[in-house]
């Protein structure tokens, strides 16, 4: 019994001992796990801190390079736009840009046209002889008859011939009075080409400046310029502001109707001469007028007498004649005169070029880019009068794109016909106003102040 009790106590002691060992082992594991947890946490904190420090160091190292790049970019911008401006934001301004001198001139012109009666606007598209509005046999002075005529018909200009010239004093006084009597600015025009067509030289008032053929033979553009300068000088002295010159026709067929009035048969030489003559006139205060588009030098017939035509192809015109006219346009010619010659290569029939929309608008205005005044050749020539009434011819020319009508056979009939055509819508008022704008850009050129 005693032995059994002793054995039981021994077993309890062994069990307790085992339990104590197990407890100690569990305590040690917990402590080890806690240490490992603390070490892990510490390591994680160290890694985070190290990452932040590394990032700061890297950013610090990159910043100077970025600043240097910005500095380089700023230098390049400053080279282009100047210092300061490159760093400033564009300012938004409510101010309206200042109008250009050309825009100011257009405003002046539009204001002038707006107050014109329709009758005056239509009359302003004609350049006529003084006799056609005064009824005088030969006009050699400007008195009450001229004053009354200009008040009734406010024509755009007057053209004078040898018969109107008796002396230097008489011519100056007639032109001066005419300008005073007109309520609108006038073109005072003349044919002064030099050579065989020189009205003042024919009247003995000036020395002939020399013909185109003679000047062209020198192949020296300086001589053409000098001729233009000389002509402009004496024309201005008498009061003329428009010269129906130079001839830009190329004399490229045998027995050409233009003859020695042309600078020659070589389109390159003709081009240089035409350009120089234009500059000589325009730079000295006289408007020049290239003639006779598209090139009557290719015809042997005379439009003064009757129908004239040419068998030139469109390609030939573009290769030769157009080169000379283009040179004059680029040199600054204010006017281009369109011939009454028929050019079937463009029109397909015998319609006078002056009445052809294809020739006047499609080619001269658009293809060659001429934005000055397009004027017909004299409408009292046989090529027109034998086939058209004065009013019909004027209407057709304006509808084709011409801006001015030169010397109709019957001015009053032509004027009344155009006026009625505008009133009934055959010709739009805008077509009239468009022509007048071109006319007044020349007449008001002195108002184009920078």
**Residues designated as active site:** 304, 377
CA angle 93, 99, 100 (to 5 degrees): 130
Residue 269, class by beta-carbon neighbours within 10 Å (0-12 exposed, 13-18 middle, 19+ buried)? buried
**Alpha-carbon distances of 316 from 295, 312, 360, rounded to whole Å:** 11, 6, 18
Measured distance CA(374)–CA(377) in Å, rounded: 10
Q: Which is nearest to 297 in space by CA: 278, 276, 318, 321?
A: 321
36's CB contacts (< 8 A; 6+ apart) are: none
Q: What angle do CA 102, 242, 234 make, to 5 degrees?
A: 120
Cβ atoms of residues 210 and 194 within 8 Å: yes
Between the alpha carbon of residue 261 and those of residues 163, 192, 193, 210, 249, the distances in Å are 21, 11, 8, 10, 8
How are strands ordered across the β-sheet holding 373-376?
373-376, 335-338, 287-293, 242-243, 187-190, 157-160, 126-128, 405-406
Q: What gap in Å lies between CA 187 and CA 111, rounded to an integer?
A: 20
Give the C-alpha separation, 296 to 302, whole Å.
9
Strands 197-198 and 192-194: antiparallel
């Amino acid at each position: 019994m005693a032995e059994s009790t002793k054995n039981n106590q021994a077993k309890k002691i062994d069990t307790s001992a085992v339990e104590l060992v197990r407890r100690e082992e569990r305590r040690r594991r917990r402590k080890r796990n806690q240490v490992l947890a603390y070490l892990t946490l510490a390591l994680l904190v160290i890694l985070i801190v190290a990452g932040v420090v590394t990032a700061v160091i890297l950013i610090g190292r990159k910043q100077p390079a970025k600043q240097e790049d910005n500095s380089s970019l700023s230098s390049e911008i400053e080279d282009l736009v100047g210092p300061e401006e490159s760093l400033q934001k564009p300012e938004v301004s409510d101010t309206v840009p200042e109008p250009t001198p050309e825009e100011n001139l257009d405003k002046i012109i539009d204001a002038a046209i707006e107050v014109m009666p329709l009758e005056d606007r239509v009359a302003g598209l004609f350049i006529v002889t003084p006799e056609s509005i005064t009824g005088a046999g030969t006009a050699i002075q400007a008195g009450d008859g001229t004053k009354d005529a200009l008040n009734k018909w406010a024509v755009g200009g007057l053209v004078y011939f040898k018969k109107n010239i008796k002396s230097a004093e008489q011519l100056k006084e007639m032109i001066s009075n005419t300008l005073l009597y007109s309520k609108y600015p006038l073109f005072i025009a003349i044919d002064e080409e030099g050579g065989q067509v020189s009205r003042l030289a024919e009247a003995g008032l000036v020395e002939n400046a020399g013909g185109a053929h003679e000047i062209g033979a020198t192949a020296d553009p300086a001589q053409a310029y000098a001729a233009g300068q000389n002509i402009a000088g004496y024309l201005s002295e008498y009061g003329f502001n428009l010269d129906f010159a130079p001839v830009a026709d190329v004399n490229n067929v045998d027995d050409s109707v233009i003859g020695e009035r042309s600078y020659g048969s070589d389109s390159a030489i003709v081009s240089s001469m035409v350009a120089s003559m234009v500059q000589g006139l325009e730079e000295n205060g006289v408007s020049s007028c290239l003639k006779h588009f598209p090139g009557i030098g290719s015809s042997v017939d005379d439009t003064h007498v009757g129908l004239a035509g040419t068998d030139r192809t469109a390609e030939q015109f573009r290769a030769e004649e157009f080169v000379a006219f283009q040179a004059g346009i680029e040199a600054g010619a204010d006017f281009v005169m369109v011939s009454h010659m028929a050019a079937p290569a463009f029109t397909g029939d015998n319609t006078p070029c002056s009445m052809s929309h294809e020739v006047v608008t499609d080619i001269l205005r658009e293809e060659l880019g001429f934005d000055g005044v397009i004027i017909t050749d004299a409408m009292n020539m046989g090529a027109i009068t034998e086939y058209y009434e004065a009013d019909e011819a004027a209407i057709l020319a304006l509808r084709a794109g011409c801006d001015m009508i030169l010397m109709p056979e019957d001015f009053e009939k032509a004027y009344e016909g155009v006026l009625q055509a505008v009133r009934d819508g055959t010709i739009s008022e805008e077509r009239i106003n468009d022509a007048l704008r071109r006319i007044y850009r020349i007449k008001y050129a002195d108002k184009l102040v920078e």
